[in-house]
Structures are given as C-alpha cells and as structure tokens.
Structure 1
C-alpha cells in the first residue's frame, strides 16, 4: 500500500500542511559546485585540450582531437534512416505540430511616429548562436531536442549547436534523428559541465554561443548557473510537477496514471490531486494501489508519491482553483465539465490542460506547445520556452529637431535633478544656441 498524504482544506492545519508539502530545498551541493567550478576554469584556460581530457575520462572515449567529437549531417541522416517507420512517423508528426504552434509566436518589430516627429519602436532580432544540451547514452529524450531546437529555428537563430554525451561511444538514434528533423546545424558528442563550459567560453573547435538551453544532471545545472551572465540560459529547472483538479467524474484509473506520469520522472517529482469529492479520492487511491505493480518504474513512483504527493479534498472547484494558484504548478489538468468556465480562474501554471482527454503526456510529446516549463512555483513569474526566448529586442529612437527641443528640456531638468551635468548638457546642446 502506498502511503500518500490526504488533506482536507477545511482542517485548521491545512495551510501549514500544504506549505510543508510544497517546500523543496533545492540546495546546491557544495561538492558538485566545487567540481564544476574547476572544470569550467580548466575549459576556459585550456579549451580543446581540457575538453578532450574530460570527455575521455568521464565518457570512456579515446578521442585525440575535438574534431573527433563532432558528428556530421550524414551521421544524423543515418540515424534517421535507422528508425522504424512508426518511430520516424511519430517524430515527424510531433515536429510538425510543434513547429506549427511556435510559428504563431514570433514577435514582430514595430514602430510609430509621435506628433513631434520622433520615431520610436522596437526591433526584434534572433540570437546568432544557441547551444542545446541533450542527455545521452541510454537516456532517450528526442522530445527535448524537438522542443528546444524547433522554436530556435522558427526564431531564425543562425546556428544551433547540439551537445550530447555518448558514454562508451553509445549513441541514441532517436535523439540524433530528432536533431536531423529539427535541422540542428552541428552536433558534438560531449556532455557534463565540460560541454557547458565549451559552449559558454568557446574552444578552438566549438564556437561560443549566446544562450544555452536544455535539461541535464546536477553537474549540468550547476554549470549553467555558473556561466549565466557570460551567456544566457533557459532556466535551472526543478523536479517535474503535476496538479490535477477533478470534479470526480473522470475515470479514476486515468487520474492515477496521470499522477504516475510525473512521479515516474524521479523521486523528487510532485503529483497532487484536488477534488471536492471524498469518495472519488478514495477511488483514485484504490486505482493507485492497484496499478502501481504494473509500472516498470514503480519504486520511483512510490517514493515520489509518498514523499511529495497528496490527495486533497477541497470544498468546491472555486477553492481548488485558488489553491492551484498558490501552488503555481508546472502542469495543471482541469479534468472537469466545461473546463473553459474555470480556466480564467487560473493565474499561475506552466501549462493548462483542458478537459478529461487532455492528459499531460500529450503535452510532453506532440500536442504542440513547449514542454520546457517553469517549475518550483516559478510559474508565478515565468513562462514556457518559446520563440521569444531565442530573440532579443532593441529599442528604436529617432528624434527630429522639434523633438530634440521638447525632449531635451525634459531630460535636462531630470538630469540636473540627478546631479548628472553631462547628461543635461548633452541634451541641451541639441536645442540651445551656443
């Protein structure tokens, strides 16, 4: 029997219990940080030489040159050709849906001219070069390639460089095929903190990028934190999360499996169900205990559900939405009748799934929206990865003689008020006769 927590929102200790449930000490491991700091400094100093040494040591390879670590486009096409028809079709259909969704996102440049003939606006331009980190070896995350690479390409990033470790030379055809379908420009078989360092600082072989995206282990996450500011990063993601709001009318087996779908990621993942129907919560608990034995990752699921999962009885769906906003989950399922009537009650969530048939797993792979989402309550202030993450915006200011006189007087007063005389004079020179 799984010992998953049961709460009721009307009990006096509910707020404190919820706070404890949501608390996640994402403490940085000092030992990991120290190792990463050393690796990054070595990559920055010795470049390719250090990169080859670390790659050979950690991935058990015998490369003699960084060029040995690059895969050609032919390699990617060979991996694509090696897939079964079902695998290739699934990747291509998912890619098409992801591309179609993201093509609706691009931010356009704009400008206007105000009454004093001053032109103001915004110029949107893509990043020049982006690095994409993908876990490798036995891990197979082709969906991560699609979700990170496709919006970058839609944004018109000039060069997309993917790094993926190949421990003992083990390559994953689905990952490399996804790179081919996503039109990744260059692929290097490197991983870990050394790969992040190579992308951030550049080496003789690997060019420096402007931004690094993609998931990784604790060393990769620590390296991304440390190089932020030298390059941009997407985010440092926490454990995966799902929150399900259900009115009690959905098949309890469906809901149990939805909770499993996040719990199977790792022991720190969080799965929470909110429902006003106590009997339905009992039914879901029964489904959980009946279905858990069928799961290959049952030990991981059990640990996640017992440590960070909960079934919560609420007074009504209105309260469920209010609690959801406190939790600000990565994934939120509104498994209710007429979900469109409740979606406007939700202010904070990475992705919102509407209705009983919209399970989170579809969003992970092929629905279209990005699966790179804010975790650990950061949905309160951040958004899913998108085309906008691969673009930057420059302000446009063109001032006429008439505008220089009007704006110069305003700027001069404010500059003197701040004690910045050169600022004031710079503005005054444009409209005062000398």
Structure 2
C-alpha cells in the first residue's frame, strides 16, 4: 500500500456536466466567511487606534515589539549588500523577464469616430497609490515582491508601499531577502506589518505621534491592495473591499496536471510535490486517462516525498481532501474536468500539448509541455505568479498591469454630431421616463424648448 499517494476519484463512464463535477472535484476546506468574524474587529481597531493597534497585534501574533512600522533605508541597503550573489543574479533575471512581459500588457489608448464629429476614446490611468502584501510565514517570498511591484511600476503607479510581516529572527524586520528585493526594485516605502492588520493599515491609513507627541500620518491609505496571504489576509481583503480595490482573495496554492500515457511520471510527481511543499492545504491534482501513469506517479511519490526537505508538509497536502488523482475516459474528458476545476496552475503534459492547452478556458496560468513546470512560472518565466485560486479562475485572471490601471472613457462630440443623434437620445430618455435627460440635449440648440 502506498503511503503518499493522493486519493483517487474515478470519473470514467460518468456524465461530466458542471453540476456533477463541482460536487466531486477536490477542494481545500477554507472558510473565508467564517474568518471575517475574527478579522473585522482587528480591522476596525487599526482604523480607530492606528500605530498603537499595529504594535499590539505585531507583538501578539509575531512576537515582535515594533519601534517603527517603517523599515529604514539603511536596513534595505544592508540586506542587498549582504545578499548571496547567486540569489541576486536570479532576482535580477526574474525582474528583467517580468518587466518585458508586463510591459507588453500595457493597453493601447483608443479613439473611435462613432459619427462625423463624434469621438469616443479611452485613456488608461494608473491608480494613485497601492499597497502590496508579501507573505512571511513558512517560507520567504522575494519572488512575490517582484510579482507585485513590477506590474505596478510598469502601470505608472506613483506611490508604492510594500509590507511583509515582522520577523523575530531578523530583529523585527521582514526577511532580509524581501528587503533586498525591494531595494533592487527601488521601493522606497517598506513596512514591517503582516496579517489582517496590514490590510487594514493599507485600507484606512494609520496615525501615530511624533517625538513631541503631535499626531502624524505614518501610513497613507491606498487605492488598491494586492498580494497573496493566508486566510486571515484573504478575509481582511474581503472586509475592506469597496473602501479599496483588491486583486483577489488568494487561498492555498493549487496545481492540476492534465496528462496522458506519454507523460513522464517522475516529472508529474516532482511538479505535484513542488506545490504541495507550500502548505498542508495546498492542492495537488492529477487528471489522466491512464491508470498506468497514475500508478507510476504514485510510485515516484514514494521515492520523492521522503527525500524532500518538507516531507511532512508535503505528505499532509497530498493526503488532504484537496488533492486527488482523477481518472477520466480520455483527454477530451480531462479538458472538461480541468475546466470545471479552474486551477490556479494547470500543466498540460499530453501529446500535442499546445493544441490541448489552446482549448482550456479556465485556469490562472497554463504551463504547456514537459519543459514548462509551474516552478518556472513561480520565479523566472516572466509571467505573474499571483493567480486566482479556489476555482475563481473561472471568472478572474491573474495579477498584471491591468490591476493597477483604470480605463477612463472620453466623449468628445461637436454640435453637428450631437444634433444628429438628439432625437434618439430624447426617445430613449422618454422611454425610461427620464425626460430631463432628453432636455439636457435639446437645451443646447438655439430656439429649443428647454
């Protein structure tokens, strides 16, 4: 009997409509709604008491007594100077690739002539200020600094603040590799606050007192908050949404692999493990029409999991209800299953992988073929690894330049163009029982009955 293999779900011979699939496909048991009752008072306390509340929650949750929530520039410079040169080179390459890819995402400003003398355009304007959250729990995520900061910079955001939890092991500062990444990117405002209290800090801004006891603004409120975090961060983002914009309520990471009997079972096992090491709630799902491949993957898990640094965490994730091997009749059925699952990360390891990938409708990111593992996208593909989880890829996309831009429509009609369409405006206004709308047009013409 295997020790580390995920459970199996056999869908062979079954009808695969959306209702059936949503009922049987594996999901992590994460209840953001229930967590709202925990984070709501924290958020309101930060809104009311500012820095004093941040200090108390940081001491309670992180075991750090903060003198200042702001990380001094010298600490960032020192972190970069002390950074391992191989890690620095890797970060610099990741930044360069992310900048190339995200620059290509910039939308084109459009202007359309709807009629002679009547033009409608669209300008893309960056939000004024953003708050970017970088996790600091079981692992350190300088890559998340890149994934949040680069698209904001490319979008032209003028004010960028990054926050990451204070770490007792690093003198109350965020992890030095995170600080080094911020310094490489030129981020000037870095904060040592984590959890729901960090989200509230960004949403509402916080006040403190200077050396003379006078009230001062310590952190200005932002317009948009982005970045992954735990369930408390996700719940806090839900709580403040509307006061600010958010990217998504990111939950535990997910990988789904759609594979046929031509896939390398060792590659598949390694890729499932790579995401399972994030968190015991991480989801690892294999969808295949080959029982032989499923058995071979199980066998490779038996070898690879015990040898992994985080074997206990990986094993818990693989055995969890959120992970499974799903058996289907053929690749066509597999496409239906992975579209219903709407994974954060989806690998296609089938014959003619590019053609199969082109048919996928629902995924945060699609990794095509044997040489495009998810870990490439996590770090150096140039794509963004802040992606929708929990099935939300069916209606939402990953983080990109668009998250920091607003489309503003610009309407520019001259008198002739307005006169030409005036009767239609009046007719529609009257049909909606809003006659003053029509009169606002009629009033612009000499002799009109206003």
Equivalent position to 2:32, from 28, 32, 46: 28
Which SS does the other structure have where 2:325 is aligned?
Answer: strand
1:363-402 alpha-carbon deviations (Å, 9 max, x no partner) = 1111110011111221111111100111111000011101
1:264–1:61 CA distance, 2 compared to 1 (3 A): closer
1:160-187 alpha-carbon deviations (Å, 9 max, x no partner) = 0011221331541111111112222301
1:336–1:34 CA distance, 2 compared to 1 (3 A): closer
1:411–1:305 CA distance, 2 compared to 1 (3 A): same
Equivalent position to 1:19, from 16, 23, 26: 23
Tell me how large the CA RMSD over aligned residues is: 2.1
Does residue 1:9 correspond to 2:7, yes or no?
Answer: no
Does residue 1:357 correspond to 2:374, yes or no?
Answer: no
What is the aligned partner in structure 1 of residue 102 from structure 2? 102
What is the aligned partner in structure 2 of residue 86 from structure 1? 86
- CA distance in structure 2 between the aligned counterparts of 1:24 and 1:240, rounded to whole angstroms: 10
What is the aligned partner in structure 1 of residue 199 from structure 2? 196
What is the aligned partner in structure 2 of residue 218 from structure 1? 231
- CA distance in structure 2 between the aligned counterparts of 1:302 and 1:366, rounded to whole angstroms: 27
Equivalent position to 1:205, from 198, 218, 222: 218
1:367–1:426 CA distance, 2 compared to 1 (3 A): same
- Alpha-carbon offset, residue 90 of structure 1: 1.0
Contact 2:229/2:251 (8 A) holds in 1: no
- Per mean C-alpha deviation after superposition, the further-off stretch among 311-320 and 376-385 is 311-320
Number of matched residues? 430
- Alpha-carbon offset, residue 57 of structure 1: 4.0
Which SS does the other structure have where 1:69 is aligned?
Answer: coil
Contact 1:132/1:161 (8 A) holds in 2: yes
- CA distance in structure 2 between the aligned counterparts of 1:76 and 1:221, rounded to whole angstroms: 27
Contact 1:110/1:122 (8 A) holds in 2: yes
- CA distance in structure 2 between the aligned counterparts of 1:186 and 1:147, rounded to whole angstroms: 17
Q: Which runs of 5+ in 1 are unaligned?
A: none
Q: Which runs of 5+ in 2 are unaligned?
A: 207-216
Does residue 1:280 correspond to 2:293, yes or no?
Answer: yes
- Alpha-carbon offset, residue 326 of structure 1: 1.7
1:325–1:264 CA distance, 2 compared to 1 (3 A): same
Equivalent position to 1:172, from 171, 175, 178: 175
1:55-109 alpha-carbon deviations (Å, 9 max, x no partner) = 3444334445xxx221233321211111111111111111111111111111122
Equivalent position to 1:367, from 377, 381, 397: 381
- CA distance in structure 1 between the aligned counterparts of 2:300 and 2:359, rounded to whole angstroms: 29
- Alpha-carbon offset, residue 289 of structure 1: 1.7
What is the aligned partner in structure 2 of residue 38 from structure 1? 41
- Alpha-carbon offset, residue 297 of structure 1: 2.1
Which SS does the other structure have where 1:105 is aligned?
Answer: coil
- CA distance in structure 2 between the aligned counterparts of 1:13 and 1:23, rounded to whole angstroms: 20
What is the aligned partner in structure 2 of residue 429 from structure 1? 443
- CA distance in structure 1 between the aligned counterparts of 2:117 and 2:11, rounded to whole angstroms: 59
- CA distance in structure 2 between the aligned counterparts of 1:209 and 1:354, rounded to whole angstroms: 37
What is the aligned partner in structure 2 of residue 345 from structure 1? 359
Equivalent position to 2:420, from 402, 406, 417: 406
- Per mean C-alpha deviation after superposition, the further-off stretch among 119-128 and 107-116 is 107-116
What is the aligned partner in structure 1 of residue 184 from structure 2? 181
Which SS does the other structure have where 2:197 is aligned?
Answer: helix
- Per mean C-alpha deviation after superposition, the further-off stretch among 90-99 and 185-194 is 185-194
- Alpha-carbon offset, residue 13 of structure 1: 8.4
Contact 1:137/1:167 (8 A) holds in 2: no
- Per mean C-alpha deviation after superposition, the further-off stretch among 341-350 and 132-141 is 132-141
TM-score by length of structure 1 reads 0.93
What is the aligned partner in structure 2 of residue 70 from structure 1? 70
1:221–1:211 CA distance, 2 compared to 1 (3 A): same
What is the aligned partner in structure 2 of residue 120 from structure 1? 120
Which SS does the other structure have where 1:384 is aligned?
Answer: coil
Which SS does the other structure have where 2:123 is aligned?
Answer: strand
Contact 1:210/1:232 (8 A) holds in 2: yes
- Alpha-carbon offset, residue 24 of structure 1: 4.8
TM-score by length of structure 2 reads 0.90
- Alpha-carbon offset, residue 18 of structure 1: 6.8
What is the aligned partner in structure 1 of residue 430 from structure 2? 416
- CA distance in structure 1 between the aligned counterparts of 2:8 and 2:195, rounded to whole angstroms: 39
Which SS does the other structure have where 1:176 is aligned?
Answer: helix
- Per mean C-alpha deviation after superposition, the further-off stretch among 254-263 and 293-302 is 293-302
Contact 1:155/1:387 (8 A) holds in 2: yes
